[in-house]
Amino acid sequence: MDHSTEPATLVSRLWRAAIDADEYTAAGIVHTALAEGVDEEALLLELIAPVQEMAGAEWAADRISVAQEHAATAINERIVASLAHRRGGGPRSAPRGRVTVCCVDGEWHAFPARLLAEVLTLRGWRVDYLGAQTPTPHMIAHLHLTNPDAVLLSGSIPTHLPAAHAAITACQAIGVPVLAGGRAFGPGGRWARRLGADRWAADAREAAAALDAGVPRPAPSTARQAVDDLPHLADQEYTLVLQSRTRLVKQTLIELEDRFPAVRDYDEEQRERTAEDLAHIVGFLATALYVDDPDLFTAFLVWTADILEARHVPARSLVAALDVLADELHDFPRARRLTRLGVTALGERSPSSVPVPGVPA
């Protein structure tokens, strides 16, 4: 067995153990590295985090199943838990301060938040980790009871941005500043700023640095509503598109059947998959309308095209769906423009943008 503590070797060994759901081997690798003096924060961020990234990338490339992705996450979670257990729970006698780490309401990807919580704990913060599936009202109730110095809000999927916005304004309204992080907030955190987050951090280390620098409390009297941050919402396009989401999906499915005989021959499961894809397209379209940024929509379409082609589904179907949607959305100028930009982006897409296997992103 290869016992090298070379980072790349460790990553690939841990990766193999994780997708095999081989907890004992995985835990052995990590705890051996720890015993050999590898820094715990480095283990979390330079070994476990890359393995988690690989799980997402390998699923996108259709090289592992959804089940394997879940299994790898479960193994990673257990290893992180075992590290925390080894350290011994409970806050230090004199913590630097108290923070809350939470996922955006509806977000399922809790692992980045978990890693962040562990890194901040290692650096001496008292951390309340609320994880995923915490409704925003529960988080606010928690903040009232604990009065933390900041909330660290993690999001991976951009369609949760409206929920993130609600959480950000709710935290700030009670005088707790919000540091946003995760892929949902866009390249360079541009949507975090648009939603009024007090800070944005690219990764756990940046988040820790931002906390060290201090995040001032927002003045409670500056409470505001969504439309104060995003005046374009007044055109109602976001609201109406989201409200008619299922009608749009049904209508588009019927139109696609009319225009493409192949769709007519789909079995029930294929039909459902197509409907799910359409629902995602409408969801991302609505979110792009919410933040008023076409890049959110086009990036999703390009990513979806890559996912489909990895599964040997031609990405042409996306362009056809966008054409039908554009007709359905004739009363919505912003939405129509998004569909046009989407078609253009798909046309300019380079065919091999799925991450290369084995190379952590």
Partner 1 sequence: MVRCARCVPSLVSLSRGSPARPFDDQAGTAWPEAPYPVLVVDRHGGLVRVNAAARLLLPDAARGDRLHERVPAWLSQAHRRLGDGTPGTFAGATAGRIDDRFFEAHPTPAGDGDIVWWLVDDTDRRLAETALSDARTRTDVLSEASSALLSTLNVPRCMEMAAAMAAEHLAEAAVLVAPAQGKRYPVTSARRGGPVTQSTQKVNVAEVPGLSEALQGFPPVPARWINPADIPGWVVPENFAGPVGSVIVTPLPGHGVPAGALILLRSGTEHVFSEGEEVFARLFAARAGAALSAARLYTEQAAITATLMHELLPPALRSVHGVEYAGGYRASRDHERVGGDFYDVHPGTGPAEETLVVLGDVAGKGLDAAVLTGKIRNTLHALLPLAEDHGRVLELLNGALLSSHHTRFATLVLASVRRRDHQVHLRLTSAGHLPPLIVRADGTVEEAATRGTLVGALPDVTAHTVRTVLAPGETCLLYTDGITEARGGPLGDELFGERRLRRALAECVGMPAEAVVERVQMLATQWIGTGRHDDMALVAFNARRNGSPTGVDGYGDSGRDE
Is residue 228 part of the contact set for partner 1 (CB under 8 A)? no
| Residues 102-131 close enough to bind partner 1 by CB under 8 A | 106, 108
Least Å distance between CB 260 and partner 1? Answer: 18
| Residues 276-305 close enough to bind partner 1 by CB under 8 A | 276, 278-279
Q: Is the Cβ–Cβ distance between 197 and 179 less than 8 Å? A: yes
Using CB under 8 A, pick the residue from 34, 61, 74, 299 that binds partner 1: 74
How many residues at the interface with partner 1, by CB under 8 A?
A: 51
What are the distances in angstroms from CA 269 to CA 182, 218, 266, 272, 273? 32, 49, 8, 5, 6
Outline where 47-187 has alpha helix (H): 49-60, 66-87, 111-122, 136-146, 161-173
Least Å distance between CB 173 and partner 1? Answer: 6
Sheet of strand 178-181, all strands in order from the earlier edge strand to the far edge: 126-131, 98-103, 150-154, 178-181, 199-201
Stretch that binds partner 1, among 41-49, 187-195, 206-214, 217-225 (CB under 8 A): 217-225
Is residue 240 part of the contact set for partner 1 (CB under 8 A)? no
Is residue 249 part of the contact set for partner 1 (CB under 8 A)? yes
Is residue 330 part of the contact set for partner 1 (CB under 8 A)? no
Is residue 77 part of the contact set for partner 1 (CB under 8 A)? yes
Is residue 93 part of the contact set for partner 1 (CB under 8 A)? no
| 3-6 contact pairs (CB < 8 A, 24+) | 3/32, 5/33, 5/36, 5/38
Stretch that binds partner 1, among 46-54, 136-144, 224-232, 290-298 (CB under 8 A): 136-144
- 200 DSSP β-pair partners: 180
Type of residue numbered 158? P
Contacts to partner 1 by CB under 8 A: 21-24, 27, 31, 65-67, 70-71, 73-75, 77-79, 81-82, 84-85, 89, 106, 108, 133, 135, 137-138, 141, 143-147, 173-175, 219-221, 223, 245-246, 249-250, 253, 272, 275-276, 278-279
